Amino acid sequence: MSGSHHHDALPYADTGELCAAVVAALRAEAGPDDVVVLAGRPEHGDMLATAVRGRLPGLRRVVRADPPVVHNRPAVALAAQRRLAQEAARQATRQTDQQTSQHTARQAAQQTVVLPTAVPLTAEPLKAEPLKAVPPTAAPLTAERSTAEQAAAARVWYIAEPDVGTTRVAWRRAADYEAACGFALASCALTTVCAYPRSMFGPVLETVRRTHPRLLTADGPVPNPAYRDVLPAGLGNGPALPEPAGSPVLHIAGSVTLAEVAGIRARLAEALRDVPALVRTDFVAAVNEVLTNAYLHGIPPVDLTVWASAAWIEGRVTDRGRGFTDPLAGYVPESDGRRAHAGLWLVRQACDEFDTWRTPAGFTVRVATPVTADLRLYTAGR
């Protein structure tokens, strides 16, 4: 099974059903060169790994990983899967290049040249005899798969039980992950299996139903009749959100030139001086990118407002333009030089929440991230 991305759902009632569905899918479609990443819950990990390795001994590359946290920065979870697929492709290419080189060397070693038969010295001119090559005894190269074919055959199976959190806000982020997954990873030789216990299928049930073309069962993969091959409405521009309670720690109105960004960035870092360094650095970098996009691709003047509390930081950047309409902006790293989307990719990596909306006043980008107790302890606010 090669080609582009596949996005499958696996609802299960117990560990036995989970293992049976995973084994059935891998038996039907996985190849010996594929990489299988088991990112299930700890309570299922040992049994799932034993089932896969025991029933499918032909799979040589089975590894364990932690479950993905998709309710915090869903774009980060997608980027991690993209890296898995890219690394698997690189390893497959290196391996097949080495195999091809070894085969070519064997062919060269097995070829011998037969010299012309000696003839006696006479007055007649000698007749040239062509050189003849003895055909190799080894199997021809066509009997082996080409480098490109073997590299294309290396697929990553990312079999995960996503952590969707416990709050409505977390469920919304998890739904964004599921909605973007099939589109953001479309070019990757990757199968993402999203396994959910039926008892907790509710929080993201509607999005899961619409975003997975197939369902994995103990009898093998089956089509999902509820699947819709369109970007869910939840992605992209939404309604304006109410402002946080309390006074802003920073408000800058009417900025008109990109040259002001450095000074704004310094003022923002100072306003957040009591925030843990790790959180502050990511947040300042994200706001810097949003501001830069507003100057370069929007219409000044540009306004920035930032709120901060012991548990949360939020910033809003508004310019007078129409903004962008691509619902996947920032979910896919751009390789064609489009700085706007590249900057938004960084923003989604650095912040937990990213929202956009239009109003009569212009286009607003909202970024927000929590200040968690573990980060406070880790960085001591410095």
DSSP string, 123-153: SSPPPP---EEPPPSSPPGGGS--HHHHHHH
Lowest-confidence pick of 87-96, 142-151, 305-314: 142-151
Average pLDDT on 139-161 reads 60
Q: Which CATH number fits domain 250-379: 3.40.630.10, 3.20.20.370, 3.30.310.80, 3.30.565.10?
A: 3.30.565.10
Give 205 or 57, the one with higher predicted confidence.
57
Domain map (residue ranges) of the chain: 6-87+150-223, 250-379
d(CA 111, CA 137): 9
Task: Please write the tens of the pLDDT for every residue from 316-361.
Answer: 999 999 998 888 888 888 665 555 557 889 999 999 999 999 999 9
Query: What is d(CA 209, CA 161) in angstroms, rounded to the nearest whole number?
Result: 16
Q: Which two three-digit tokens encode residue 147?
A: 């480098």
Looking at the DSSP bridge assignments, the partners of residue 39 are 160
Percent of the chain residues topping a pLDDT of 90: 59
Identify the band that residue 196 occupies on the pLDDT scale cut at 50, 70 and 90: very high
Mean pLDDT of 101-108: 58
Q: State mean pLDDT over 91-119.
A: 56
Asked if omega into 130 is within 30° of 0 (cis), the reply is: no
Which residue is associated with the tokens 């990719």?
345
Q: How confident is the model at residue 95 (pLDDT cuts 50, 70, 90)?
A: low
Cα gap 330→235, rounded to integer Å: 11
Contact 241/355 with Cβ under 8 angstroms? yes
What residues contact residue 365 under an 8 Å CB cut-off, 6+ apart?
Answer: 290, 293, 294, 316, 317, 318, 323, 354, 355, 356
Do 305 and 316 contact (CB within 8 A), yes or no? yes
Class of 6-87+150-223 in CATH: alpha beta
* Distance (Å) of CA 184 to CA 92, 117, 267, 274: 23, 67, 35, 36
pLDDT at 233: 63
- The pLDDT > 70 percentage for the chain reads 77
- Residue 286 exposed, middle or buried by CB count within 10 Å (0-12, 13-18, 19+): buried
Q: What is the pLDDT of residues 163-181, one digit of tens each?
A: 999 888 888 889 989 999 9
For 367, counting Cβ atoms within 10 Å of its Cβ (0-12 exposed, 13-18 middle, 19+ buried), the class is buried
Categorize the per-residue pLDDT at 58 as very low, low, confident or very high, splitting at 50, 70 and 90.
Answer: very high
